[in-house]
Amino acid sequence: MIILRSLIFVPGNQERRIEKALTIAADAIILDLEDSVPDAEKESARNILPGAIPRFRATKKHIFVRVNSMSTPYCLPDIKAAVSAKIGGIILPKSESVTTIRQAEGIMAQAERASGINVGQTGIIALVETPGGLINANEIASASPRIFGIAFGAEDYALEMGIQRTREGAEVYYPRMVISVACHAARILAFDSVYTDVRDKEGLVAETRAVKQMGFHGKMVIHPDQVNPVNEIFSPSESEVAYARRVVEAFDAGVKRGQASVSLDGKMVDIPVLERARNLLAQAQAISALEKP
């Protein structure tokens, strides 16, 4: 089971921030070559990758690189540099269609061959952040075996739609649900957008709890202080784990009595409830293994 509760962006041109990221408790590091890097620094950020990535590989963190979009002159060299550095995957901005994914896939295959890497080894998280991408979310989710997740870019989506972002987030409820449903239909992971007010922990917690209820598996973050609250919300609590164990035990006992469903604390436990409990226990076990020193 892949655990990706928190994915933190780190500017790819700032070696001090990269060094600090080694100590952050995020499940994944996203070395960013796009929005956080000015045009004049794109090449130098790209050149930092070969030296930075091996340091992260020694940790349990997943390593991704957010490349620039396919419409820019930076994308081709970004993908080649990222893939040759042997990362877990790229974050592909402005993923708007199957064509976008397949164009990136072709470049990645060439880079893998040139670097002696098995073709298909490098994954893709498609960043859906435009109305066009949202309309095509279902097709994007199954466009390639490389895709193991879709991330929602709420800020760019709001810009494209000409709407204002609010703390309550009603304006992005619909795109979030579309992306979550598309991901679950394709059996890939769904990642929520960043929360831009780094001083508003209460707002971050409320939003993270809401997107978890929508079916998201994790959330992108932009500041170290956001990591622990996000990790906690996307981790089963002790009481949830204890109840899940009771569900499994009660159901197993019922099976021995020839029952296909049982009652626990006045609530029915049938196959879907059992499977949710088993999934939660598997998640808890995977998180425990990940967090062991």
Of the chain, the end-to-end C-alpha distance in Å amounts to 19
pLDDT tens-digit map of 70-127: 999 999 999 999 999 889 999 999 999 999 999 999 999 999 999 999 999 999 999 9
pLDDT tens-digit map of 187-210: 999 999 999 999 999 999 999 999
Q: What is this structure's pTM?
A: 0.94
pLDDT by position in tens, the chain (length 293): 789 999 999 999 998 899 899 899 999 999 999 999 999 999 999 999 998 888 888 787 899 999 999 999 999 999 999 999 889 999 999 999 999 999 999 999 999 999 999 999 999 999 999 999 999 999 999 999 999 999 999 999 999 999 999 999 999 999 999 999 999 999 999 999 999 999 999 999 999 999 999 999 999 999 999 999 999 999 999 999 999 999 999 999 988 898 888 998 999 999 999 999 999 999 999 999 888 77
pLDDT value of position 55: 83
Question: For the CA atoms of 16, 19, 20, 21, what is the dihedral angle to 10 degrees?
Answer: 120
pLDDT value of position 75: 95
Beta strands 89-92 and 123-128, pairing class: parallel
Q: How far is CA 20 from CA 4, 29, 73, 164, 224, in A?
A: 20, 11, 30, 33, 10
